[in-house]
Amino acid sequence: MLSLSRDRISEVDVTGQLVEILDMPEHLRDAQWRVESAELEPHDSPGGLVVAGMGGSSIGGSLARAALGDRASRPIALARGYALPSWATPDTTVLCTSYSGNTEETLAAYDAARALGARTIVATTGGKLAEQARADGVPVVPMPGGFQPRAAVAYSLVTALEVAALCGAGERLHSEVDVAAEHAERLAARWGPDGDDDSLAKTLARGLHGTVAQIAGAELTAPVAYRWKTQINENAKLPAFCAELPELDHNEIAGWDGAHGLGPFSAVFLDDSDLHPRVRQRIELTRGLIASRGAPTFRIETIGETRLERLVSAILLGDLVSLYLAVLRGVDPARVEAIESLKAALVGG
């Protein structure tokens, strides 16, 4: 059996990305303090909330929207690019989030929000975004430095939740964040390197090792499936793709007929107790169809009482699986040369 001991992990994970994953419970708590330190004022926004950001900085918006579910009372949209949605108005709150503060797409979205006259809030560690925001008198939620942007997921999630509550887009989940943090602590001990060698996280990583994974989610778990995909991309340096049920049953499922001849594929289904019963039935039927094509399949159930607890459990599991995959491959999870070289080429161009 391929080793996933703490010693083996430290040989590959030289910058300690595992520590940041296991510290997610503390990140959730610290994020609340950081939002409070920004002294944001409530501001009713009939136009809802737009979260503008890229990569690991933007994921908090989609996760917050899922955590709120039917407790969201206004639109919560993402702007992953240079522009805001065409329907945005001065009555919209725009949260511009860039870990480095130098993401060119987010800087452009910030300029668009200011030109529109929308209420604007910034979450960042510094850079040009913080400099411009402070010059404009725009409130800044200070994020902690020293992370890979994707490791700050708890900060981006909590910030989006708090801003959604302040602008009237959803209920405040402040107390639920504390409960979710305690829940994540227990799961981190179970799934971390000092847990059983046959824990869910380690078993799943070994099952996905050597395959191209499809991660499928629905409703609450749809944005989590996207998070799993991007974490496998960046940490394990592997291609992966994600899909959403029931939509994938109307197109993508047909593609599995040819998967066996192309290479080793696998499928993970992120289930949740609150999913529509027909969607849960689709998970089992779709999993069976893919398994009949010779691909390994896995069904993962979220764990927890509240939507936020269950969401956090699935995020934590996926982050650990992606890091364990990096260790099994012997690749440093922190290094993302392809992304950095592309950014450099854009600057040079």
| Options 250, 284, 309, 340, the catalytic residue | 250
| Options 105, 162, 234, 309, the catalytic residue | 234
Beta strands at 240-244 and 297-301: parallel, antiparallel or unpaired = unpaired
Q: What's the full length of the chain, in residues? A: 349
Whether 128 sits among the annotated catalytic residues: the reply is: no
Whether 237 sits among the annotated catalytic residues: the reply is: no
- CA-wise closest residue to 221 among 315, 146, 105, 141: 315
Beta strands at 212-217 and 265-271: parallel, antiparallel or unpaired = parallel
Q: Exposed, middle or buried: residue 70 (CB in 10 Å: 0-12, 13-18, 19+)? A: exposed
Residues 6+ apart with CB under 8 A from 186: none
Whether 343 sits among the annotated catalytic residues: the reply is: yes
Kindly calculate the radius of gyration of the chain based on its CA atoms and give it in whole angstroms.
Answer: 20
How many CB atoms are located within 10 Å of the residue 276 CB?
12
Quick one: tokens of 56? 């690991």
Residues 6+ apart with CB under 8 A from 196: 190, 202
- Which residue numbers are catalytic? 234, 250, 343
